[in-house]
Amino acid sequence: MLVCCLGDLLLDVIVRLDEPLVWGADATARTRTGAGGQATNVAAWAAALGARARLVAKRGDDAAGALVAGELDGLGVEVVGPIEGGRTGVVVSVVGPDGERTMASDRGVSPELSAGDLDPAWFADCDVLHVTGYALLGEPMRSAALRAAELVPRVTLDLSSAAHIRSANGFRSAVEALRPSLVFANEGEREAAGELPVEWVVKRGPAGFEWRDETWPAQAAEVVDTTGAGDAFAAGFLLGGPELALEAAARCVARLGTMP
């Protein structure tokens, strides 16, 4: 199975605090840097779970872009898409002692991916195209996602961010035009999106998830970092359904960072 993911390729900076932050003072922490971005995470986990994986993304011609592309190559993910002058995006995740996190994101050149940047050959052998909600927030990336969807037999979507859904013009119509067979969302994202003619997989964190009017409990895990758990879950769901999704999410939260 070949899983193609369209979205952002970013440098992920994970900061896991050993103690609460205090403005104007120091706090001890553990850190990790490496490849990140929602589509990147899904592709990496799909490869780790046994699929072929391809990431379609625009990145800068800087050191960060070379670093993250090299890491993905080592994980078995094929990275395609334009490299242009500019900066590769960076997302900083600050993780509290309880494993919960907040993020500050700079997407760099990623949102500049356009339909004209796409090579149809990248999608000719894809079994499923997984699109992140960030790709639908505005142009030109929205048109790139819709064009890619025309070239594949099946599309899935992760809504990504309730706050961005509320502020983005035309988001709902873009989802409808994408025609995803499956939409992943947490409860806040689904509420922000409103009613859509899609099949929902609603992620509920430690409470598991809901799908087809059934609730599936999460697997027990020692929570180190929740960053990327939903992306590992999505990759597992695409490859093996609920059981593999829950297994992948449990593996992800038990380690620092988003990569498998």
């899904």: which residue's tokens?
42
Paired residues of 30 in beta bridges: 16
Copy the structure tokens of residue 7.
């979205």
**Which domains are delineated in the chain?**
2-8+37-88+107-253 (3.40.1190.20)
């894809």: which residue's tokens?
126
Quick check: 115 and 144 in contact, CB under 8 A? yes
pLDDT at 99: 66
**Whole-number average pLDDT of the chain:** 93
Report the amino acid identity of residue 135: A
Write the CB contacts of 72 (distance below 8 Å, at least 6 apart in sequence): 9, 35, 40, 43, 44, 55, 79
Copy the structure tokens of residue 14.
């994970």
Give 210 or 167, the one with higher predicted confidence. Answer: 210
Q: How far is 183 from 103, CA to CA, in rounded Å?
A: 22
Report the amino acid identity of residue 35: A
Rounded to 10 degrees, what is the CA torsion of 73, 232, 221, 206? 150
pLDDT tops 70 at residue 78: yes
State pTM to two decimals: 0.93
Residue range 141-149: mean pLDDT, rounded = 98
**Segment 91-132, tens digit of pLDDT:** 898 877 776 778 788 999 999 999 999 999 999 999 999 999
pLDDT at 37: 92
